[in-house]
Each structure stands twice: as structure tokens, then as C-alpha cells.
Chains A and B, each alone.
Chain A
């Protein structure tokens, strides 16, 4: 079973991160990642660049409103994600609890990753998506 651990933090929490010692942060996050690699459960991990350099498209108006960087009203920003292959949701939760990115304002969201197999296989768009995933090596 694959689960995505989505690391979230609000503005204040991110500010504390910026002030933290770089080597120390690298060390604690690195050890955490290493632990998951050692346990054979880590499939993928990516970090996201600063939300200030991102763009938000808001659909509440017509045409949609395009604005620069952080998520406007939303206070919690996604900082990165892990993909784990584990035996149960509880195990994913247990790994999340071990994250070093803790304290006020930090959150981890845990979501099961669905598979294309869960969609109707006779749908032509699902078939097309399969072909594309196959061709791009990401199924």
C-alpha cells in the first residue's frame, strides 16, 4: 500500500525553520529519511520550492484569478512529500509521528495513493492515460 505523507507548515512555523541552523535541520531531516530507507519503506521524496515563488489560480471568479505566490487565504503551505510503501495506514501514521519537523504550525497529512486500477478500465480516457503512463515510465 502506498501512502503520501504531505508535509505542511504555516507561515510562522516556516519562519522558525528559516532561522534554524541549516546543518542541524539537514541532520535531523536526513536522519529521519535514512531511517525510512533503512526500514525499506521509502519509495520517493521530494521537497517543494518556496511558495512565494509559486502561483495560485483561484477559480472562484470567472475568469479564474491568477496571483503570485503563497496561497492567499490558506495559511498552511505544502513543503514537500514522501511516498512510503507500508503495510497499513497505521504504519504510515507511525512514520509521520517520527518526523522531526514538529512543533506549533507543523502538520503532516497522510493520504493513500490510489491506483489507476481503481478506475473503470473500459473508460477510453483511462486507457489513454495508461498508455501515457506506460510511455513515460510512471505507471
Chain B
């Protein structure tokens, strides 16, 4: 039974409201870093008060009021008798419970409401853009997004990334200082800059998802929560910027990738490779949502981008009844497109795998040998693992063994190494 006054109830309200509260406070104070502090202070007060007095009737309003009161205290403490303080004191002294000024705009009319439903979307969008601002490091962007937009606590973020809480707190503090020092305004970028600035936002969501989806050991459950948080934020973003194909492309990629999660880990906890996955375990509703997002992306007519192309590849797998019945020719083409858009040896390697499925191992081996000659991926287990696989299929078993052994030696993840070792064992059986 849910305890309505408990800590969990506060956490639930916080998860729903934190972005809008921080956003409204940021718009009102014109200061993102301060707003984040104020929102956290309001949360701390809720954690003390709600379990004692009960959850207020309008939790969001309560948190906002506390945040705003703390803001006034902070301004008073600073004795900052600047324009901002004067403007705020004037407007708030009269004490309309729901009114606030627009100190950033400088033309406050007093009619501006702090909690303006029409501006909530913009506030949340601005939070996303500021949290993922290019002046921040990726780790900082990830931590700030999860905390400010996702409503996760520092503890939760720390647990998800397997780092100490103090590290997360330090990252957030530093990120806020960096934003302040760089004079990053709290605003949705103007239309002409938006597409450019969207890149880091999508990248941060993708990183959060990847971190959550690469879990195969230790704290696995929470990391899946992280992946689903990234999905949720991508859904929010696609709703806030509906016309942007890459946003829908990313959402599609996350949904279609997550659809395979239920089949990715075997009963023994070992990762299950795509060709061995029980496709009946794939999440059909996630596949439907992913395909819908992908067709929205495609409809823009501007072509699929980095995420959209990957989503299209994921879709090929999602709709195929088996590995054999997969449209590998299309996957090869999609990897070619991806490779020309964002050249990378990993993409080439994946294209080689798809080629081997579409046209056999010989052609694929040529691509892989090209990568070896270039010296790409020299320290990755992926290259020898794929090469070993292709050589196995070509019957060059001695060479295959050497490659698979090298891959196992380079593999840092125990579970994955077990898979490679099983392949080696199969090789021995096949040879004997």
C-alpha cells in the first residue's frame, strides 16, 4: 500500500513536477543555477514537511511558493539592491500569490504569472537546452539533465553510473558554475540556432540511454530505469519539437532498441546475441511506437539523419521473423548511408557483418581486412570477434581460433568473454 505522506510520495511528485518547477523558477529569476538550488531547497523542505503534515492539495504550487520565497530570501541576503531586487520586491511585496515579475525581460508588467501553463513547454525545453549546453562536458550534461529535467536525485544518478554521490554533486556544481561563467541565458535558442543546438541535447539523451542499455551486470535493474528515463525524455522532446526529424529519429532508435531488452539477457544472466534472441520476447508495443516515430521522421522529407538511420536498421531487425528472413541488403545500404554521414570504423564493421549475411563472408572479409590494414579498432575486441566469425564460416578454422582468442583477451566484460569462449569451444567441436 502506498503511503501517501511518505518519502516515496514526495519523490513521485518531484519526478512529475521538478522540470516545470525549476523551469518556472529559472524564467522568473533569470538564473538557471539559482533556480536549480531553489528547487532543491523546496524539495528538501517537502521531504521534512509532507511526511509530517500530509501532501498538500497542489503539490506543484506548494513547491513553487517555497522556491519563490527562498529566492526572495536569497536576494535579500545578498542585499542586492539592484534593479532585479527592486523589481521583484515591488511586485512581490504586493503579494499576489501566483504572480511574479519577469526580471530577465526588464519589462515586467505584474500580469506575468509564475506558473503560466502556456510557457511550461518552453520552460522545460529551455531546461533541456541549458542542461545540454555545448560549454559543458558530456558527463556534466548527462548529470545535469538527469537531475534537472528528469528529477533524479544525485544518489540515484550516482548509483546508475556506478560513481560516488560526491562525484555527481561535484559535476553538477561545476556545471552550474560553468553555465554562469559563460553567461548562458535561460532560453530556448532562436529558431535559426535550434537545429545546431539540438545536437548536444540528442547526444546527451543517447548517452543516458546507452549507459542504461549496456548493463549486463551489477545494478542492472536501475540501469534499465536509466534507459527508460532516456526514452521518457525523448518522448517529451519529440512532443516539444514535433517537426524535427532527428528528434523522432532518436525516439525511434531508443524505442526499437529497448524493444529487444527482454530478450537480450539469458536466464543465466549472459548476454544473448541478436541471432540467438527469442524474438517472441521483444516488446511489440515498443516496436510499434518506434516505427511510428520513425515514419514521422521519414515524413519530414529531409532524409534520415544519424539516429534515424540507426533506427531504420533497428526496424529491419524488429520486423524480421528470423535472422535469415532479415532484409540484410537494406541493412547494408543503411550502413553505407550511415558511413557516409558519420564515417566510423564501427559502422564499417557493422556493414561488414550485414554484408556477410547478405552476400556471404568473402566480401565481408575484404571490408574487415581493410579495417585491419588501416589499423582501426586496434584495441577493440569487436574486430577480431567479427573476423573470427567470418573465418569460421569460410572454414579457415585455425585462423579463426587465433582471432577469437585475441578477442577474448581484449574483452573486459566477463559475460561477453564467456560468449566468445563458447564460440571457441564450438570451433573445437566442429573441428573434431
Q: Which residues of B contact A137 (CB under 8 A)?
A: 284, 287-288
Chain B CB within 10 A, most for which of A91, A95, A117: A91
In the complex, whether B232 has a CB less than 8 A from a CB of chain A is: yes
B386 to chain A, nearest CB (A): 29
Stretch at the interface among B5-13, B31-39, B194-202: B5-13
Complex Cα spacing A110 to B240, Å: 28
Do residues A39 and B16 form an inter-chain contact, with CB atoms below 8 A?
yes
Stretch at the interface among A56-64, A73-81, A82-90: A82-90
Q: Which residues of B contact A39 (CB under 8 A)?
A: 16, 232, 236
In the complex, whether A37 has a CB less than 8 A from a CB of chain B is: yes
Mask: chain B, 278-315; 1 = CB below 8 Å from A; 0 = not: 01111111011000000000000000000000000000
Those of A18-51 within 8 Å (CB) of chain B = 37-41, 43-44
In the complex, whether B54 has a CB less than 8 A from a CB of chain A is: no
Do residues A139 and B284 form an inter-chain contact, with CB atoms below 8 A?
yes
A127 nearest CB neighbor, chain B only: B280
Q: Which residues of A contact B412 (CB under 8 A)?
A: none
A93 to chain B, nearest CB (A): 5
Do residues B239 and A91 form an inter-chain contact, with CB atoms below 8 A?
no
Do residues B239 and A43 form an inter-chain contact, with CB atoms below 8 A?
no
Given contacts A93-B4, A94-B12, A139-B280, contact A87 B225 (CB under 8 A): yes
Q: Which residues of A contact B229 (CB under 8 A)?
A: 87
Q: Which residues of A contact B13 (CB under 8 A)?
A: 94
Do residues B8 and A88 form an inter-chain contact, with CB atoms below 8 A?
yes
Complex Cα spacing A93 to B282, Å: 28
Complex Cα spacing A106 to B307, Å: 44
In the complex, whether A67 has a CB less than 8 A from a CB of chain B is: no
In the complex, whether B228 has a CB less than 8 A from a CB of chain A is: yes
Do residues B239 and A88 form an inter-chain contact, with CB atoms below 8 A?
no
Number of residues on chain A facing chain B (CB within 8 A): 24
Mask: chain B, 248-285; 1 = CB below 8 Å from A; 0 = not: 00000000000000100000000000000001111111
Number of residues on chain B facing chain A (CB within 8 A): 35
Given contacts A38-B121, A87-B225, A137-B284, contact A93 B236 (CB under 8 A): no
The listed residue (A87, A94, A139) touching B283 by CB distance below 8 A is A139
Do residues B285 and A138 form an inter-chain contact, with CB atoms below 8 A?
yes
Complex Cα spacing A121 to B297, Å: 37
Mask: chain B, 207-245; 1 = CB below 8 Å from A; 0 = not: 000000000000000000100110111111001100000
Q: Which residues of B contact A89 (CB under 8 A)?
A: 2
A122 to chain B, nearest CB (A): 11
Complex Cα spacing A106 to B210, Å: 42
Q: Which residues of B contact A44 (CB under 8 A)?
A: 285
A133 nearest CB neighbor, chain B only: B284
Do residues B15 and A40 form an inter-chain contact, with CB atoms below 8 A?
no
Complex Cα spacing A94 to B63, Å: 15
Do residues B239 and A38 form an inter-chain contact, with CB atoms below 8 A?
yes
Complex Cα spacing A138 to B233, Å: 24
Do residues B11 and A88 form an inter-chain contact, with CB atoms below 8 A?
yes
B259 nearest CB neighbor, chain A only: A139
Chain A CB within 10 A, most for which of B16, B120, B232, B240: B16
Those of B131-186 within 8 Å (CB) of chain A = none
Given contacts A89-B2, A133-B284, contact A40 B225 (CB under 8 A): no
Complex Cα spacing A44 to B284, Å: 14
Do residues B284 and A134 form an inter-chain contact, with CB atoms below 8 A?
yes
List chain B positions with a Cβ less than 8 A from chain A: 2, 4, 6, 8-9, 11-13, 15-16, 59, 120-121, 124, 225, 228-229, 231-236, 239-240, 262, 279-285, 287-288
What are 17 A-B interface contacts by the 8 Å CB criterion?
Answer: A37-B239, A38-B239, A38-B240, A40-B235, A40-B239, A43-B285, A44-B285, A87-B225, A88-B11, A90-B12, A94-B12, A94-B13, A95-B16, A133-B280, A134-B279, A139-B280, A139-B283
List chain A positions with a Cβ less than 8 A from chain B: 37-41, 43-44, 85, 87-91, 93-95, 117, 130-131, 133-134, 137-139
